[in-house]
């Protein structure tokens, strides 16, 4: 079904009942076979089939969830699928949790979702339409589809949707500080305040979200959008907190080729400044290229960290051939992020502990 429930698979017809003398033998064979097959030991990379990019990972309603971009031509990017798992290994697809039929102002180029639960509802932030502006490098006066759009919000009562447009218009539909309004990432700090990080075209802004997510609150200096662009930044901002320190990750290079990679910096404040500390995820010609636009997962109640990202398989079949993968994210004794080792096997099963 479109936009709701889990993917349904046909149930095989029951086999005729075997003669009673053969039943014990057949039962033994079934038990032996099931013991040999068992559950997969690792997730494998990619973690699910299909061309998907810009993955957002989160723990919602007692399960792991990934919300990615459907990697295709802009005119084909009219929906979001989502994927859930209880153990990081076996994933269930939830098709079309949001599509443009439920967002009146969105036409195409649904990108880079970011998910947050608040007061029992689930808010999905996303970019749409690849908004351009007059005088910009990609402005086309004849292409009305890119003359409006930006960052929107959808809401649902369950992680798997269906999501519906929350505002009836973009939350943010203008360029501020030269940042294209794409690639939203919402961070909730320990005091409950929610910050929106976003930006393309080599500029990154942060803004304070109103508690009801209908707009923004001003900073103490009266401004609304504060630019925090670190050296090398292109797009794909992500923020997390560990040990009292804020880690800011972003993507560099070209998203459409193998140069894409991830860098990071740290600060004592969620708004920086963030000095570039180094590259943590990049191509490995023995595995894949174009690794970037990641999100980060910390297993609740632990110090176990994972990075979920997209990469380009080798051989690569074109600009949109990107797949979603997961590997461990590790730190040294001083808290610096160690370079990520991309793998084909992925990660071991990690069931969530019941509360």
Say yes or no to pLDDT of 264 above 90: yes
Q: Confirm if 321 and 312 have CB atoms less than 8 A apart.
A: yes
HSE, CB side, 13 Å, CA atoms: give it for residue 8: 7
The verdict on residue 347 lying in a domain is no
The verdict on residue 61 lying in a domain is yes
- Tell me: the pLDDT tens digits for 273-293? 999 999 999 999 999 999 999
Say yes or no to pLDDT of 338 above 80: yes
Q: What is the pLDDT of residue 23?
A: 39
Say yes or no to pLDDT of 39 above 70: no
**CATH number for the domain including 293?**
2.115.10.20
Which residues share a beta bridge with 308? 295, 326
Q: What percent of the chain has pLDDT over 70?
A: 89
Cβ-in-10-Å burial (0-12, 13-18, 19+) of 266 comes to: middle
Say yes or no to pLDDT of 142 above 50: yes
> How many domains in the chain?
1
Say yes or no to pLDDT of 19 above 70: no
**What range defines the domain where residue 205 resides?**
52-328
Q: Confirm if 294 and 282 have CB atoms less than 8 A apart.
A: no
Query: CA-to-CA distance for 339 and 59, rounded, in angstroms?
Result: 24
Q: What is the pLDDT of residue 36?
A: 41
The verdict on residue 1 lying in a domain is no
Say yes or no to pLDDT of 268 above 90: yes
Q: What is the pLDDT of residue 328?
A: 98
Q: What is the pLDDT of residue 21?
A: 38
- Beta-carbon contacts of 13 under 8 Å, excluding residues fewer than 6 positions away, are none
- Beta-carbon contacts of 201 under 8 Å, excluding residues fewer than 6 positions away, are 136, 178, 179, 180, 235
The verdict on residue 355 lying in a domain is no
The verdict on residue 345 lying in a domain is no
| Mean pLDDT, residues 4-18 taken together | 33
The verdict on residue 316 lying in a domain is yes
Q: What is the pLDDT of residue 137?
A: 85
Identify which has the larger pLDDT, 6 or 210: 210
If you search the block for the tokens 């990641």, which residue do you land on?
Answer: 294
The verdict on residue 236 lying in a domain is yes
Query: CA-to-CA distance for 81 and 96, rounded, in angstroms?
Result: 5
* Residues labelled catalytic: 54, 235
The verdict on residue 352 lying in a domain is no
Mean pLDDT of the chain: 90
- Tell me: the pLDDT tens digits for 158-170? 999 999 999 999 9
């Amino acid at each position: 079904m479109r936009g709701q429930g889990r993917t349904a698979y046909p149930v095989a017809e029951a086999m005729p009942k075997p003669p009673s003398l053969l039943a014990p033998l057949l039962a033994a064979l079934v038990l032996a076979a099931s013991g040999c097959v068992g559950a997969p030991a690792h997730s494998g990379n990619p973690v699910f089939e299909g061309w998907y990019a810009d993955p957002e990972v989160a723990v919602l309603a007692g399960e792991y969830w990934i919300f990615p971009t459907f990697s295709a031509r802009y005119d084909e990017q009219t929906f979001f699928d989502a994927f859930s798992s209880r153990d990081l290994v076996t994933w269930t697809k939830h098709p079309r949790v949001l599509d443009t039929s439920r967002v009146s102002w969105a036409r195409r180029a649904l990108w880079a979702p970011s998910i947050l639960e608040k007061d029992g509802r689930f808010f999905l932030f996303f970019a749409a339409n690849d908004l351009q502006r007059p005088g910009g490098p990609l402005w086309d006066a004849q292409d009305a589809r890119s003359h409006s759009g930006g960052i929107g919000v959808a809401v649902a009562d369950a992680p798997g949707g269906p999501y519906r447009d929350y505002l009836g218009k973009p939350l943010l539909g203008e360029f501020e500080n030269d940042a294209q309004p794409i690639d939203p990432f919402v961070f909730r700090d320990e005091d409950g305040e929610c910050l929106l990080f976003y930006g393309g075209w080599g500029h990154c802004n942060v803004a304070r979200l109103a508690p009801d997510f209908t707009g923004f609150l001003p900073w103490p200096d009266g401004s609304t959008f504060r630019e925090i662009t670190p050296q090398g930044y292109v797009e794909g901002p992500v923020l997390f907190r560990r040990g009292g320190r804020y880690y800011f990750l972003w993507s560099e290079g070209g998203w459409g080729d193998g140069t894409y990679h991830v860098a990071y910096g740290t600060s004592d404040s969620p708004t920086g400044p963030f000095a570039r500390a180094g590259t943590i995820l990049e191509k490995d010609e023995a595995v894949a290229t174009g690794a970037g636009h990641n999100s980060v997962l910390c297993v609740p109640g632990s110090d176990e960290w994972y990075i979920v990202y997209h990469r380009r398989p080798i051989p690569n079949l074109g600009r949109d051939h990107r797949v979603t993968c997961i590997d461990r994210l590790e730190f040294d004794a001083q808290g610096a992020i160690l370079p990520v080792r991309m793998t084909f096997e992925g990660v071991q099963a990690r069931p969530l502990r019941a509360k």
